[in-house]
């Protein structure tokens, strides 16, 4: 079984979370996730990966230093078991855009936008991890007191 480490960043602003829109180029299936991707050999840490991926997928420059969630998910399509680590953006600046995703391989075929969502706005979209619909908002209000393992999803 192949394994992959994926790092994503939770970026919060004015009570909203920034999510990246993915559209499967063949099926048209749409889902939203925090900006992130696989660790590359040139990334010096998970936080370096988080900064790079956030910039590639949203054009935002972030600082991050804290892990919020860990989950595993198995992709039947790629047959890869992903270990996913979610960090929290301590700060960010810039304007949201997709110009940095060009030339990044399959990502540019899937990633079609980025938008801010309130808890209420997430009720009508497919979002991963699903904790972002409800429990995340309680964790956020509590200041994310500890790292949570979200389990393995298939």
* Mean per-residue pLDDT of the chain: 94
The residues pairing with 92 across neighbouring beta strands, listed in sequence order, are 62
The residues pairing with 37 across neighbouring beta strands, listed in sequence order, are 7
Q: What is the dihedral of CA 117, 120, 122, 128, to 10 degrees?
A: 90
Residue 76 pLDDT: 86
SS (H, E, C) the chain: CEEEEEEEEECEECCEEEEEEEECCCCCCEEEECCEEECCCCCCCHHHHHHHHHHHHHCCEEEEEEEEEEEEEEECCCCEEEEEEEEEEEEEECCCCCHHHCCCCCHHHHEEEEEEECCHHHHHCCECCHHHHCHHHHHHHCCCCCCEEEEEEC
In the chain, domain spans: 2-153
Is pLDDT above 90 for 49? yes
pLDDT tens by residue, 73-119:
998 888 999 999 999 999 999 999 999 988 777 778 899 999 999 99
Length of the chain measured in residues: 154
Q: Do residues 111 and 57 touch, judged by C-beta distance below 8 A? A: yes
User: pTM of the prediction?
Assistant: 0.94
The residues pairing with 74 across neighbouring beta strands, listed in sequence order, are 81
CATH of domain 2-153: 3.90.79.10
Residue 40 pLDDT: 94
Q: Output the CA angle 150-152-153, nearest 5 degrees.
A: 105
pLDDT tens by residue, 122-136:
999 999 999 999 999
């Amino acid at each position: 079984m192949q394994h992959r480490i994926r790092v994503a960043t939770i970026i919060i602003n004015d009570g909203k979370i920034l999510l990246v829109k993915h559209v499967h180029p063949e099926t048209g299936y749409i889902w939203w996730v925090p900006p992130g991707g696989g660790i590359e050999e040139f990334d010096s840490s998970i936080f370096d990966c988080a900064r790079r991926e956030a910039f590639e997928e949203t054009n935002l420059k972030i600082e991050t230093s804290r892990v919020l969630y860990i989950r595993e998910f198995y992709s039947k399509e790629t047959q890869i078991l992903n270990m996913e680590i979610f960090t929290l953006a301590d700060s960010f600046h810039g304007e949201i855009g997709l110009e940095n995703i060009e030339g990044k391989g399959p990502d540019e075929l899937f990633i079609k936008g980025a938008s801010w969502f309130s808890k209420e706005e997430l009720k009508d979209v497919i979002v991963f991890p699903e904790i972002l619909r409800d429990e995340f908002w309680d964790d956020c209000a509590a200041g994310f007191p500890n790292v949570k393992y979200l389990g393995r999803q298939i």
